[in-house]
Amino acid sequence: MDGPLWIDRHAPSIEDLPQEDVRDRLQDAVSDPVNLVVHGPPGSGKTAAVRALARAAHEDPEGDLIEINVADFFGLTKNELSEDPRFRRFITPKRKRNSSKADLINYVLTESASHPPVSGSYNTILLDNAEAIREDFQQALRRVMEQYYEATQFVLTTRQPSKLIAPIRSRCVPVTMRAPTREETIEVLSSIATEEGVTYDEEGLSYLASYAEGNLRKSILAAQTAAEENGELQGTAVLDPLQDVGLDDTVTEMLVAAESGSFQDARSILDDLLVDEGRSGAELLEEIMDAARTRYDGDRLAKLHTAAGRIEFDLVQGTSDRIHLSHLLTMLDPDADEDWPLGAEH
């Protein structure tokens, strides 16, 4: 896709969310910052809803919203945790040496929760994909939530709320993010198309909504694909560019998100490919490199090949496919930490 993804460029406010009951619950949470468990199917808008909440609740949401993708964070080794640019300021060599992995995770959570807010009176910590937290780590999280309930609002997003232990669920207000209806999806697409200056008709948007089957993220990405190909969103022609949309296009969308620094979105797509599509880490690494060869050249491609070689070795060792592929995505951001740079896109 050319340029920024529409899912980023048209990030919704609370008022823009298609689910009325969710809008009401989040509006209440702006004035009463209780802990929340936001649960629903893939693509229903869970992460986008929490970001909308943060923008409404905080004068400086960039500073006061702390996003942690659980499947990434809780799966890190001690070395990876202490070297991660988000957390290494908390972890001295002595603490790393003398602490277990569980102790380090608890320490990072505690430091994040106790960190003074940039604006206002509290932070919001988003724990995305919370179903991936092991029970022993959930117990550590519960203690942090108990200690810092006055200073920090915790919001957990998950596809499987039953995976959370009862003490955490009891400390959070549940927010159900159902899949948007066909009519609600059409309304969202209509608003985006109008802002983008793209001609559309109801038939075209209806086909896009049906194509996505309740996955709002998928419908918006499909609309962007069709608009870039056709210049409009009208009639059955919207489906023509989507006939050939497959894994290659999804991988490219993931790379575009990573290049722009939207790692939550890139990792969400990665989760879909690994979990919903059932791809192995090795298969997906090969697909990523195939897509990369069409986007990069020169030094950048050479560095990416070197990094992919290291990650391929790690994948063979049987450790977390998601963690290693997430690291590769992190390297695609031109503004990434100096330990991971791959330069700007050619």
- Strand (E) or helix (H) holding 3: none
Residue 154 CA to residue 126 CA, distance in Å, equals 6
Domain ranges of the chain: 19-176, 182-242, 247-330
CATH architecture of structural domain 247-330: Up-down Bundle (1.20)
Cα–Cα distance, 235 to 237 (Å, whole number): 5
What string of pLDDT tens digits covers the 346 residues of the chain? 566 789 889 999 999 999 999 999 999 999 889 999 999 988 899 999 999 999 999 999 988 998 888 867 776 778 877 877 777 777 888 888 888 877 888 888 888 888 888 888 899 999 998 988 888 888 888 989 999 988 899 999 998 899 999 999 999 999 999 999 999 999 999 999 999 999 999 999 999 999 888 889 889 989 998 999 999 999 999 988 887 555 567 888 888 888 887 877 888 888 888 876 667 788 888 888 888 888 887 788 888 888 888 888 877 765 678 888 888 888 887 665 434 444 443 3
Domains 182-242 and 247-330 share a fold: no
Residue 155: its pLDDT value, please? 97
Three-class secondary structure of residue 135 per DSSP: helix
Q: Which CATH code is given to the segment(s) 182-242?
A: 1.10.8.60
* 206 three-class SS: helix
For the chain, give the number of residues.
346
CATH code assigned to 19-176: 3.40.50.300
